[in-house]
Amino acid sequence: MSTIKTIIFLLFTVITYGQDVSEIERLFQDGDFEKVVEKGSHLLETNGNNLTTCHLVGRALTELKKFNEAKPLLEKTTVKIAPDWMKSWSFGYLGICNYATGNLKESKINFKKAIKLNATKNATKFSEKRLKLIQLDEYTKNWEVVETENITFHIQPNHQLKDINNYCSAREDAFKKNNTFFNASLYKKIDYYVWSDYEEGKKVLGEEIGFANPDLCIINSKVNQTKGHEITHILCDLE
């Protein structure tokens, strides 16, 4: 192949690859994570070190709850040459992967790394919120704990519940009833925090109590909140 033809071929290859990466970025923004993984994995066969592709496929795999597959790709995009915004999001998603696979210590380290970078407002808030949630185990160590088949309940003192076991059983039953429709599989038990002091909860977490965080399988509920509402948010994300 002549020098000119070689140059033209290389330029065409670079342009085409760039267009493919742009398409993956668009698919990620659209929330089509299956397509991101499908197209991104194909691109990585020819250029396994492209940071943007590794980053987007790693994040998409995390969204799809394929945590062990996501980890090595996300780790590739925390290297020095990666831009800070990318490293911050990658550390945040690694925090989720570590938490979901039972490594709480490493999860906290990664969220803290993302926050320390302070690369973008959204990336920092993403990790700050999740770090607060996974550190609840320290804050709530004196709360009453009740285990059911699919849920670990953490119940704040002074709850004034007449029958804690009945309260927890009703929510476990709501999980099972709702899941007959979703048929979702939990990657870990739901950590269900039951707050009786809502103002204290707001101070600790920075938002009103009564929300689910599906990517961590965590619920923060008011003591008198509807049984199945936040559980449904978890199941919707897992199906």
Report how far residue 106's alpha carbon sits from residue 98's, in angstroms, rounded to the nearest whole number.
Answer: 6
CB 139 within 8 A of CB 204: yes
Res 73: pLDDT = 97
Average pLDDT over residues 74-100: 97
Assess whether pLDDT exceeds 60 at residue 6.
Answer: no
Q: Which tokens sit at 31?
A: 């929330």
| Phi–psi pair at 153, nearest 5 degrees | -90, 135
Report how far residue 232's alpha carbon sits from residue 84's, in angstroms, rounded to the nearest whole number.
Answer: 35
State whether the Cα torsion 197-135-218-36 is positive or negative.
positive
- Other residues' Cβ atoms within 10 Å of the Cβ of residue 196: 17
Res 20: pLDDT = 77
CATH number assigned to the domain covering 3-131? 1.25.40.10
Burial of residue 203 (CB within 10 Å: 0-12, 13-18, 19+) is exposed
Res 12: pLDDT = 36
Res 18: pLDDT = 52
In tens, the pLDDT along 176-193 reads 999 999 999 999 999 999
Res 3: pLDDT = 54
Q: Which helix (H) or strand (E) holds 206?
A: none
The angle subtended at Cα 107 by Cα 132 and Cα 32, nearest 5°, is: 90
Give the chain's mean pLDDT. 91
Assess whether pLDDT exceeds 70 at residue 13.
Answer: no
Angle 229-238/164-182 helices, nearest 10 degrees?
40
Domains of the chain, residue spans: 3-131, 139-238
Res 7: pLDDT = 42
In tens, the pLDDT along 126-164 reads 999 999 999 998 999 999 999 999 999 999 999 999 999
Comparing C-alpha atoms, which of 75, 108, 72 is closest to residue 89?
A: 75
Helix (H, G, I), strand (E, B) or coil at 47: coil
Comparing C-alpha atoms, which of 217, 163, 165, 145 is closest to residue 187?
A: 217
Strand order in the sheet with 151-155: 144-147, 151-155, 190-195, 218-222, 211-213
| Phi–psi pair at 206, nearest 5 degrees | 80, 15
CB 214 within 8 A of CB 190: no
Q: Which helix (H) or strand (E) holds 129?
A: helix 121-134
The confidence band for 49, taking pLDDT boundaries of 50, 70 and 90, is confident
State whether the Cα torsion 178-180-182-183 is positive or negative.
positive
Average pLDDT over residues 110-128: 98
Assess whether pLDDT exceeds 90 at residue 197.
Answer: yes
pTM: 0.88
Helix (H, G, I), strand (E, B) or coil at 169: helix
